[in-house]
């Protein structure tokens, strides 16, 4: 269970004596659905909302908790429960060889190197990626990199996945492959996306605009609200 309790984030303004800049206005949410989609224009506050779930961004007011752990005071426990998938997989793939990157995610939980390699190969096989185990991450396609990044995140064993526009850099085939993979996961998934068909498949949708959650409801209704606001000009590119 993810809980926002009057949680918001403001940062100092660029100019002296100017008002603080509100990145995300205080909001109260309980996110328990298996799939939650976050939609909105670039710069609306989607990524900030996601980053507040695992403590990459801490609220300046209110609180965010995951399974009862406060993201400000219990950051380690939160990150043991929440994995984060970035838009660009190269920003989080650390090791040069695929299996080595997955092993790195297992280092804290499996001390024996041989068992760690076996577990990494099993994790890759579970996503149909074992054939990539010895490949350089730089020789992979964008879709393969994103799936390997997902595998590395999932290997750590967290029960919540937060994904920030994971399909943005992918072509159609890899986009659909990643979506099918995410659909198959047992973990709760909270994801931001510009792919409105992908968003509409979620159980719940949050529409963010101007640092505020302006709609919260069924995902297909959130998508329709977004489309209507864009058509009316109340949300512009």
pLDDT in tens, 107-164: 988 999 999 999 999 999 988 899 999 999 999 988 899 999 999 999 988 899 999 9
Domains in the chain and their CATH numbers? 2-89+159-232 (3.40.50.300)
pLDDT digits (tens, 9 = 90+) for 16-54: 777 788 999 999 999 999 999 999 999 999 999 999 999
For residue 133, the model assigns a pLDDT of: 97
CA 205: distance to chain centroid?
Answer: 14
For residue 151, the model assigns a pLDDT of: 94
Task: Assess whether pLDDT exceeds 80 at residue 165.
Answer: yes
Sequence-distant contacts of 93-98: CB under 8 A, at least 24 apart? 93/137, 93/145, 93/148, 93/149, 93/152, 95/137, 96/136, 96/137, 96/138, 97/133, 97/134, 97/135, 97/136, 97/137, 98/124, 98/129, 98/132, 98/133, 98/134, 98/135, 98/136, 98/137, 98/140, 98/148
Q: 174 or 189: whose pLDDT is higher?
A: 189
Task: Assess whether pLDDT exceeds 70 at residue 237.
Answer: no
pLDDT digits (tens, 9 = 90+) for 174-188: 888 889 989 999 999
For residue 224, the model assigns a pLDDT of: 97
Q: Do residues 145 and 132 make contact, with C-beta atoms less than 8 angstroms apart?
A: no
For residue 112, the model assigns a pLDDT of: 92
Q: What is the pTM of this model?
A: 0.91
Task: Assess whether pLDDT exceeds 90 at residue 7.
Answer: yes
Q: Please choose, from the candidates 228, 200, 195, the residue with its C-alpha nearest in 3D space to the C-alpha of residue 214.
A: 228
Separation CA 150–CA 86 (nearest Å): 9
Mean of pLDDT values over 78-101: 94
CA 55: distance to chain centroid?
Answer: 12
pLDDT digits (tens, 9 = 90+) for 220-234: 999 999 999 999 998
Q: Please choose, from the candidates 89, 56, 58, 82, the residue with its C-alpha nearest in 3D space to the C-alpha of residue 68.
A: 82
For residue 15, the model assigns a pLDDT of: 72
Angle CA(13)–CA(15)–CA(19) in degrees, nearest 5? 45
How are strands ordered across the β-sheet holding 69-70?
21-31, 2-11, 61-66, 69-70
């Amino acid at each position: 269970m993810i809980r926002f309790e009057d949680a918001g984030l403001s940062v100092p303004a660029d100019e002296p004596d100017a008002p603080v800049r509100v990145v995300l206005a205080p909001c109260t949410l309980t996110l328990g659905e298996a799939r939650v989609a976050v939609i909105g224009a670039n710069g609306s506050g989607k990524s900030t909302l996601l980053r507040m779930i695992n403590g990459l961004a801490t609220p300046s007011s209110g609180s965010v908790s995951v399974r009862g752990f406060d993201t400000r005071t219990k950051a380690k426990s939160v990150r043991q429960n929440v994995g984060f998938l970035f838009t660009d997989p190269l920003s989080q793939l650390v090791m040069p060889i695929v299996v080595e990157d997955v092993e790195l995610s297992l280092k804290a939980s499996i001390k024996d190197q041989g068992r760690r390699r076996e577990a990494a190969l099993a994790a890759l096989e579970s996503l149909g990626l074992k054939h990539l185990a010895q490949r350089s991450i730089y020789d992979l396609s964008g879709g393969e990199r994103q799936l390997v990044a997902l595998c590395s995140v999932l290997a750590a064993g967290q029960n919540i996945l937060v994904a920030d526009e994971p399909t943005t850099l992918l072509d159609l085939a890899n986009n659909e492959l990643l979506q099918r993979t995410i659909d198959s996961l047992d973990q709760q998934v909270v994801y931001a996306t510009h792919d409105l068909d992908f968003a509409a498949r979620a159980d719940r949708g949050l529409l963010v605009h101007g640092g505020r959650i302006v709609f919260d409801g069924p995902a297909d209704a959130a998508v329709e609200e977004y489309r209507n606001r864009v058509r009316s000009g109340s949300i512009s590119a």
